[in-house]
Amino acid sequence: MVGVSAGLQQPALWKYSMLNVVNLIRHAKLSWFLFVALLSLVIVSGCDSADYKIITSTESPNGEFSALLIQRRAHGPLSSDVYYVVLTDTRQSMPTLSKLVHDKPLLVVTHGQDLTLQWSGANSIKVTCANCGIKKLDVMERNERWRSVEITYLGIPIPKQ
């Protein structure tokens, strides 16, 4: 009788061990899927596939501030270049261009390659678009003041809200 009861348990053990193998395979597939998804997320979120370049810069008359026109050149087929006007405090170290344009830009536009920056005083700057064709749709952000500096825009429409 002992041999018979041991023989009856063997198929039951085999059935449970096969279920364990099936569950391990399912978990392995799920783990692989989660690994690939997480890796893809890290790659996509950690990479900015754009180049940043200073097009022009000018220092305020008192040397306290610097105004920069920065181009963000995208590499995607449907991406447009974006132009940022930013001010920096010359007494502080300048961060990377990608950080600078995302912190607090004064102006963010497409088709801004021909913008000009001109200081009209220690705390006043003009940003001019002479025949560069910027439309309301092209303006993503436009700020009239940064710290003590007043910004005047010529030829740049106020963006739609």
- Helix, strand, coil percentages in the chain from 3-state DSSP, rounded to 5: 35, 30, 35
Distance CA 54, CA 71 (A): 6
Residue 43: the pLDDT is 46
Share of the chain above pLDDT 70, in %: 67
- The structure tokens 């061990």 sit at 17
- For the chain, domain boundaries: 1-47, 51-154
DSSP 9-61: HHHHHHHHHHHHHHHHHHHHHHHHHHHHHHHHHHHHHH----EEEEEEEEE-T
Cβ-proximal residues to 26 (8 Å cutoff; 6+ apart), any chain: none
Whether 45 shows a pLDDT value over 50: the answer reads: no
Higher-pLDDT residue of 113, 79:
113
